[in-house]
Amino acid sequence: MNEGAFEFRSKMRALTDGAVTSLAILATVLVIVPLAVIFVHLVYKGAASLNLAFFTQIPKPPGEMGGGMANAILGSAILLALASAIGVPVGIGAGIFLAEFGRGSKLANAIRFTADVLNGVPSIVMGVAVYALVVHPRIGFLPFTGHFSAFSGGVALGIMMIPTVCRTTEEMLLMVPNAVREAALGLGVPNWRSVLSITVRTASPGIITGCMLAFARVAGETAPLIFTAFGNAFWSSSLNRPIAALPLQIYVYALSPYDDWRRLAWAGALVLIVLIVMAVSLVRYVTSRGVLKGAS
Amino acid sequence: MADRGFHWLMVVCALSIFGIVVLIAYELVLRSQLSWHAFGLRFFYDSFIDPDTHQKSYWDPVNGHFSAVPFVYGTLVSSFLALLLAVPLAIGVAIFLTEMCPKVLRGPLAFLTELLAAIPSVIYGLWAVFVLVPLLREQVNPLLAAGLGWTGFFDNSNPTGLGFVSSGVILAIMILPIISSLTREVISAVPHSQREAVLALGATRWEMIRMGVLRNARIGIVGAIILGLGRALGETMAVTMVIGNSPEIHRSLLATGSSMASVIANEYAEASSDLHLSALTEIGLALFLVTIIVNACAQVLVWAVTRGAPAQAH
């Protein structure tokens, strides 16, 4: 190979390298810019639409100005409380089983796989399943079943929380050093006490983080609520009746032909985003501090 | 005594996950029996002749004829469009963040992607309806129609701006964070010695990335892409809001359509007959099975790369 060809190839290689670097930077800019635009647009539109009435009033009839989403905020709070009451204990319990009792066993592997499957089930399918199980069941005498209800919406969201809570609980418990468990058992503490007061306690910041992540995830879920909680234009706090929910209201209002309802949709979106950003930032803060700081 | 009770309580919690998934599958199968008996496998490939208009039709709740073909088509087209747009960008971002980015930027950018993955689907939909769709309608679609109209894929006879292109773009934005963060994870799992070996041979940075990193990580990257596909297939709200919801098949990507998830979201609460409900449930069952298979494949591929590799500090 003569000198010139070598020079040429080196130049080409340097050029390719430069081109790829610029392409990667371009891709990053192309991704960051629209995402930042979405975010800024949401905050801008939402802030312009938000007022006190949003938090204190229920929706006005179509065409009338004003009104708010107070009933939807209450509804979301009730749905999320019910979901957490189902998803958190079951998820933590399953996580404890995976990390403390079933480590490496076939059953644990099967459960872990099933949790991942459940995590991947599209939320709309969860809605269909809960509709079949709770809203329109084959056995008709159970309480809360047989019609659209807050209860069915809470069940759908609760089931969706389980896999996230379970897997983070397991991960966090696995990070607790064995010496801590042995120390507790060495003092003659019964196993259940050791698990609950020592291991789970040590990992609790991480476990709470997982619960909050799951909470933030289902807080914005709309699809499973369309034919379970169904939505409601009036105040309702009964578990036995259809109930309004913030994401559901945003969906309905966004597609409505009334400008004032669209305004409320933007305001609702901002409230939801603020809630989720707070949860995610808190999670990041807690995890960056180190999950097991308290233990060392 | 208390120990055994506690142990069994935890086992019950764990088994309940198993129970829930089995129960979901069982109910979906049971509730779609009616439609399965009426249409069989033809539900997924056949069409009907409308008795009134004598034209081909797929979805006719009034006369009780149902076929999932337009919804399967809509789901596939919008998801693949999303992958087409998202994959090159996501891989570019992942490469930039792991191999090129100054350390100061890494944390904030990772946080931003985390945040964007947490934004609910309905909010992406809201933004798409009021910002993205008008933008595509006014600016992009006429250009596509003028430049590529001759292919037949960009016939711009739909004045609304809703349709496959809109849903593909919003889906791409939604799955980008997932694909890029997983790709980042996979790339970080490639041992440093691989990079150093290639660099020691005098490679430029791109040659190092191509030979030392991407070649080792490619299976995991395919896994990340498939996981993104799984997410796109089941995505409901944003797609429902921008796809236009018409149960038809058009060759043009600018036309309106409907996806499997969107038809369930739209019609389930107001289904007109038991057969209608059953047909919608069967679509749900198909979606359930497909996402399970897709996610399982993706998991296996991602594990193949990251398993055994120590978690990297950021």
The Cα A99–Cα B289 span in angstroms is 29
Asked if B173's CB is within 8 angstroms of A90's CB, the reply is no
pLDDT by 10-residue block (mean), chain B, 314 residues: 87 94 95 93 86 82 89 95 95 90 82 81 94 91 85 81 93 92 89 90 90 89 92 94 90 91 93 91 96 89 68 38
**B257 is written with which tokens?**
């359509």
User: What kind and span of H or E run contains B48?
Assistant: strand B48-49
Res. A49: pLDDT tops 90? no
- The pLDDT, as a whole number, for residue A166 is 95
Average pLDDT rounded to a whole number, residues A38-59: 88
ipTM of this complex: 0.90
Quickly count: other Cβ atoms within 10 Å of residue B200's Cβ.
9
Residue matched to tokens 């009036």: A234
- Chain A hits for B302, CB-CB cut-off 8 Å, are none
Angle at alpha carbon of residue A24, lines to A21 and A25, rounded to 5°: 85
Residue A239 and residue A151 in contact, taking contact as beta carbons nearer than 8 Å: yes
- Per-residue pLDDT tens for A193-202? 899 988 999 8
The Cα B165–Cα A2 span in angstroms is 52
Asked if B131's CB is within 8 angstroms of A230's CB, the reply is no
- Chain A hits for B89, CB-CB cut-off 8 Å, are 27, 30-31
Alpha helices (H) along chain B: 2-31, 33-39, 69-95, 103-118, 121-127, 133-135, 141-148, 164-188, 192-200, 205-207, 215-234, 237-242, 260-267, 274-306
**The one-letter amino acid at B110:** A
The Cα A72–Cα A11 span in angstroms is 63
For B261, name the nearest residue in chain A, comparing CA atoms only: A124
For B28, name the nearest residue in chain A, comparing CA atoms only: A129
Residue B152 falls in which region: left (phi positive, over 0), alpha (psi -120 to 50) or beta: left
Alpha helices (H) along A50-69: 52-56
For B5, name the nearest residue in chain A, comparing CA atoms only: A192
- Chain B hits for A97, CB-CB cut-off 8 Å, are 10-11, 13-14
- Per-residue pLDDT tens for A262-271? 999 999 999 9
Quickly count: other Cβ atoms within 10 Å of residue A116's Cβ.
16
Angle at alpha carbon of residue B134, lines to B130 and B136, rounded to 5°: 125
Average pLDDT rounded to a whole number, residues A135-155: 87
Q: Can you give the length of chain B in residues? A: 314
The backbone torsions φ and ψ at residue A58, rounded to the nearest 5 degrees and listed phi first, read: -95, 165
β-strand partners of B48: B57
Residue matched to tokens 């990193």: B213
- The pLDDT, as a whole number, for residue B312 is 40
- The pLDDT, as a whole number, for residue B307 is 67
At residue A295 the predicted structure's pLDDT band, cuts being 50, 70 and 90, is very low
- The pLDDT, as a whole number, for residue A281 is 83
Chain-wide mean pLDDT for chain A? 88
Asked if A124's CB is within 8 angstroms of B261's CB, the reply is yes
The Cα A204–Cα A201 span in angstroms is 5
**A2 is written with which tokens?**
């003569």
- Cβ-defined contacts of A31-38 (< 8 Å, 24+): A31/B89, A31/B90, A31/B93, A31/B176, A31/B180, A32/B109, A32/B112, A34/B173, A35/B112, A35/B116, A35/B173, A35/B176, A36/B112, A38/B119, A38/B124, A38/B127, A38/B131, A38/B173
- The pLDDT, as a whole number, for residue A6 is 84
Q: Which of A129, A124, A77, A81 is nearest to A226 (CA)?
A: A124
Share of chain A above pLDDT 90, in %: 43
Q: How far is CA A121 from CA A127, A242, B294, in A?
A: 10, 24, 11
Q: Which domains does chain B have, with CATH numbers?
A: 70-262+293-306 (1.10.3720.10)
Q: How far is CA A248 from CA A31, A131, A136, A243, A272, in A?
A: 28, 16, 20, 10, 12
The backbone torsions φ and ψ at residue B128, rounded to the nearest 5 degrees and listed phi first, read: -65, -40
At residue A293 the predicted structure's pLDDT band, cuts being 50, 70 and 90, is very low
- Chain B hits for A120, CB-CB cut-off 8 Å, are 230, 234, 291-292, 294-295
- The pLDDT, as a whole number, for residue B308 is 53
